[in-house]
Structure 1
Amino acid sequence: MSSDVIAPLSNPLPIAQALIQRPSITPKDEGALGVVQTALEAMGFVCRRYPFGEVDNLYARLGNAEPCFLFAGHTDVVPPGTEADWQQPPFAAHAEDGMLWGRGAADMKGAIAAMIASVHRFLDEAGTPDGSIAFLITGDEEGPAINGTKAVLKALEAEGETFSHCLVGEPTNPNALGDTIKSGRRGSLNCRLTVTGRQGHVAYPERAENPIPRLMGLLERLNARVLDEGAPHFQPSNLEITSVDVGNPTTNVIPAEASARFNIRFNIRHTGDELTHWIEDEVAKTALGFNGQVKADIHVTGEAFLTPAGDFTTLLQDAIEAETGRRPALTTGGGTSDARFIQAYCPVAEFGLVGATMHQVDERVPVSDIETLTKIYTRILTRYFTDTPA
């Protein structure tokens, strides 16, 4: 852990730069969590590390009373790609002409810096809150997400830790700061289908068992189902076939095996268990009368959830509108995030920077947006501990 406190902690830019300069590509930390821990400990937070496998995680809390406002996010980043393609080195954290460049600037080291600076400003203005502030920062959001937030939450639950509300700093805005709050997310299911038959010569099909027609028929039935027409606050669920593989280099051999992969993004009209049972039933039908084997390897990586509009989401919208002049819409689109794990423990929403360049070469954000986000987070804390939402 770094022993140097970045001063002043009320300024998010040098914090963001220090974080970006740590090349914390999942699952490596490279000192990124140390930057966060040093800053939080300087403000009186009690910090604990939660290493699981190759992943390190940080939990920090200021105070023990309720309500507890939880900031959540991740310091791990995706690889930068070919570094020569960047206008600025991806881990140099170069600030020029009002822009901060670097891997993680948008997703989401800039937001973590804003969280830290906002807490410093809040404590400086309001003093110790009548309640608690906590941070859960993981190094495994961009990876498998097994040894990160999900594992830490289970450990914290066993230790008796509870939270009242959570704000995740993912880059939720598509075009401008203040566009959208993520108040829910679709669930995600990944499946690999494998059909194993018997290899043979194409001129003697009676001596073989071709797996390809079985696989094609199964995919056709799965893909033909209209899962739903949407749900309140959610777009329709969709199944997307992402790969079909045979690996047969010859023209006169019936292959022994064929496989495929697909993903389902589903709304609150479905659960992972229900979709799993449907797939398993279709697999069983495919196997009838087939002299081979049909398998489905299914993984539900997150359930669909919705934080209903209410006092908490209104508080967030009011704070964002006060600083940006835009009243953000409550949306549920896009991919998954660690909010899918947090929603089982407390109401959760997501709001961070503009994500237009996240995961791209030349990832960057306006420095002014990081400052505005800091003001938003400060206003949220002030309002939260003045009039805690139900």
Structure 2
Amino acid sequence: MPIDPVDLSARLIRCPSVTPEEGGALVLLEGMLAEAGFACTRVDRGGVSNLFARWGAKNAAKTFGFGGHTDVVPVGDEAAWSKPPFSGLIEEGVLWGRGATDMKTGVAAFVAAAVDFVKDTPPEALADGAIVFVITGDEEGPAKDGTVAVLDWMEAQGETMSVCLVGEPTSPEVLGDMIKIGRRGSVTFDLVAEGVQGHVAYPHRAKNPLHALVDLLGRMNAQPLDNGTAHFDPTSLQMTTIDCGNQASNVVPARAMARVNIRFNDAHSGASLTEWAEGLVAEVAGATGVKIGLTASISGESFYTAPGPFVDLVSDAIEAECGIRPELSTSGGTSDARFIKNHCPVLEFGLVGKTMHKVDERIEIAQITQLKAVYTRILKGYFA
């Protein structure tokens, strides 16, 4: 009997897997996949639960990978939800709950598609093929011990994927209107300025770290870092906080901090932007005499999967099932595809993401069934 991706989605939503809690989601999937003949391995690291599963021969000539996560963001104010956030309630054709778009439904759809595909496909058609799942519990968190841990384990074990499709919610308006063929990189700068505390009426006896910090931020934001590239929008620099903890109006603070995030295109790297920022820090520190420390956290580099057979395969399947040719995009935030791109060509395609991370996260159940059909068609095309 075919696996119902809607029922599986609801069962996964009922697992309270807020990062980094496993919540029973991976246990549920491991049991289902093992019963279907997948070789399953838990690759837990640093308190994070992850699952690797493979059907078919190790290092097969054609190995199709699916990537996804079962962890979810916190629910926020539970009283503000119309339905309980971990109910998995289905009402009037809509599935409710945290993870209904991001992305327990995507995981359910590709698991259901793959399990049914291997049951229904003659063994000779997959003689030198394999299907792999990389399912993490750390995508919504620091993302250091999730997909990265599984990829590290795969390298050590000699496990490979030829291509990978990540089931993130990529469709802006209707299912099928967008594929992510790349993502911008992300780097965060934590800036700490150390001055000399004093009375505001005697500025010559103090050294104001806020003045230096504001000068530095102004220089960072003075002009665009670029005007975009062939495949990406312009790089975006955003200040996210400036603080010194000073409650007094007549005191020059001794210390101030700020945080800046840059989402960058392929004109830059995390290292090149860090070098640029360090140069500005040195200029301002030299001009003001205020010591400024910079800590850079690079959460991912930009990447781009060029159009070709893999992109065409996914696009053709979407068009056949959804009646729309998807836009090829590099917009949006980061995902675990930024790690997988070092292993093999990677794309992202999934549901409409309008309610992800919101109160009352929900999705039309018809989309989940349709997404399974798209993934099934992709597998049939890949192994044809």
TM-score (norm 1): 0.95
* Contact kept in structure 1, 2:66 and 2:167, CA below 8 Å: yes
* Contact kept in structure 2, 1:9 and 1:116, CA below 8 Å: no
Residue 290 of structure 1, CA deviation: 3.8
Is 1:78 aligned to residue 76 of structure 2? no
Residue 151 of structure 1, CA deviation: 2.0
Corresponding residue to 2:62 among 60, 67, 86: 67
Which amino acid in the other structure matches residue 22 of structure 1? Answer: C
Residue 383 of structure 1, CA deviation: 0.3
Counterpart CA distance in 1 for 2:32 and 2:61 is 23
Counterpart CA distance in 1 for 2:122 and 2:328 is 31
Counterpart residue number, 1:96: 91
* Contact kept in structure 1, 2:212 and 2:290, CA below 8 Å: no
Corresponding residue to 1:194 among 174, 192, 196: 192
Which amino acid in the other structure matches residue 35 of structure 1? Answer: L
SS at match of 1:105: coil
Counterpart CA distance in 1 for 2:146 and 2:33 is 20
* Contact kept in structure 2, 1:39 and 1:116, CA below 8 Å: no
Corresponding residue to 1:164 among 153, 162, 165: 162
SS at match of 1:81: coil
Which amino acid in the other structure matches residue 373 of structure 1? Answer: L
Unmatched segments (≥5 aa) in structure 2: none
Task: Give deviations 1:302-336, integer Å, cap 9, x for gaps.
Answer: 00000001110000000000001001011010100
* Contact kept in structure 2, 1:111 and 1:370, CA below 8 Å: yes
Which amino acid in the other structure matches residue 249 of structure 1? Answer: Q
Counterpart CA distance in 1 for 2:264 and 2:223 is 13
Counterpart residue number, 1:105: 100
Counterpart CA distance in 2 for 1:213 and 1:97 is 57
Counterpart residue number, 1:354: 352
Counterpart residue number, 2:250: 252
SS at match of 1:273: helix
Which amino acid in the other structure matches residue 258 of structure 2? Answer: A
Is 1:52 aligned to residue 45 of structure 2? yes
Bigger drift between 225-234 and 190-199 goes to 225-234
Corresponding residue to 2:143 among 142, 145, 153: 145
Residue 172 of structure 1, CA deviation: 0.2
Counterpart CA distance in 2 for 1:16 and 1:93 is 8
Counterpart residue number, 1:17: 10
Counterpart CA distance in 1 for 2:132 and 2:283 is 50
Which amino acid in the other structure matches residue 95 of structure 2? Answer: L
Residue 289 of structure 1, CA deviation: 4.6
Counterpart CA distance in 1 for 2:122 and 2:155 is 28
Is 1:114 aligned to residue 109 of structure 2? yes
SS at match of 1:212: helix
Bigger drift between 202-211 and 269-278 goes to 202-211
Counterpart CA distance in 1 for 2:110 and 2:287 is 60
The 5 A counterparts of 1:289-308 are 289-308=287-306
Task: Give deviations 1:79-114, integer Å, cap 9, x for gaps.
Answer: 112222222111110111111111101111111111
Residue 285 of structure 1, CA deviation: 1.1
Counterpart CA distance in 1 for 2:47 and 2:173 is 35
Equivalent pairs: percent with the same residue? Answer: 53
Corresponding residue to 1:30 among 19, 23, 26: 23
Which 4+ stretches in 1 moved above 3 angstroms?
A: 289-292
Computed over aligned residues only, the root mean square deviation of the Cα atoms, in angstroms, reads: 1.1
Q: Tell me the number of residue pairs that the alignment of Structure 1 and Structure 2 aligns.
A: 379
Which amino acid in the other structure matches residue 259 of structure 1? Answer: M
